[in-house]
């Protein structure tokens, strides 16, 4: 069974490989960092499932956001086709769209560089969806996101 200590050792490797000192968990194991003054990237170790939940705040929606925005988010997430296997959720108090992705801890810890590359791809995906949401809100939606696999690290192709 993988525990909090293993997760902390993994994060130390990620810090070393990435050069980002902000990757330090709090007492609950949550890592939260601001990236490029655009995104709050959060990593939370889920000991019971031995997964790392990555969640990123993508956009805040107005309370009166059109049905099209929600439809696009749901349709884009169907079978993970346009979300690279992740999914969107809505934080109800702030109307913030949050992208969620689960990493298998063991797989991530075997290849720290791949884990970092996948985080970068997740941020690219969030950029595309932030623009897409903005377009939905303005009535000028950009092209759909497509991928060749069900994970951000499976060679995501953006249309």
Averaged over 17-25, what is the pLDDT? 83
Radius of gyration of the CA atoms of the chain, in A: 16
Give the pLDDT confidence of 113-150 residue by residue, as tens digits. Answer: 999 999 999 999 999 999 999 999 987 655 555 444 44
The answer to whether residues 122 and 51 touch, using CB atoms and an 8 Å cutoff, is no
Higher pLDDT residue, 21 or 79? 79
- The torsion angles phi and psi of 66, rounded to 5 degrees, stand at -70, 160
Alpha-carbon gap, residue 76 to 110, rounded angstroms: 30
Q: According to CATH, what is the number of the domain 4-157?
A: 3.30.1460.10
CA 83 to chain centre: 9
Helices 112-138 and 67-77: angle between axes, nearest 10 degrees: 150
Give the pLDDT confidence of 103-121 residue by residue, as tens digits. Answer: 999 999 999 999 999 999 9
């Amino acid at each position: 069974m993988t525990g909090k200590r293993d997760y902390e050792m993994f994060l130390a490797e990620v810090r070393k490989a990435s050069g980002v000192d902000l990757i330090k968990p709090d007492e609950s194991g949550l890592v939260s960092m601001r990236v490029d003054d655009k995104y709050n990237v959060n990593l939370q170790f889920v000991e019971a499932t031995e997964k790392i939940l990555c969640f990123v705040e993508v956009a805040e929606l107005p309370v009166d956001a059109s049905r099209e925005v929600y439809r696009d988010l749901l349709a884009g997430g169907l079978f993970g086709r346009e979300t690279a296997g992740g999914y969107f959720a809505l934080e109800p108090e702030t109307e913030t769209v949050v992208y969620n992705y689960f990493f298998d801890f063991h797989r991530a810890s075997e290849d720290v560089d791949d884990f970092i590359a996948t985080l970068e791809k997740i941020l690219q995906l969030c950029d595309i969806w932030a623009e897409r949401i903005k377009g939905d809100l303005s009535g000028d939606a950009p092209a759909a996101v497509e991928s060749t696999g069900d994970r951000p690290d499976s060679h995501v192709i953006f249309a």
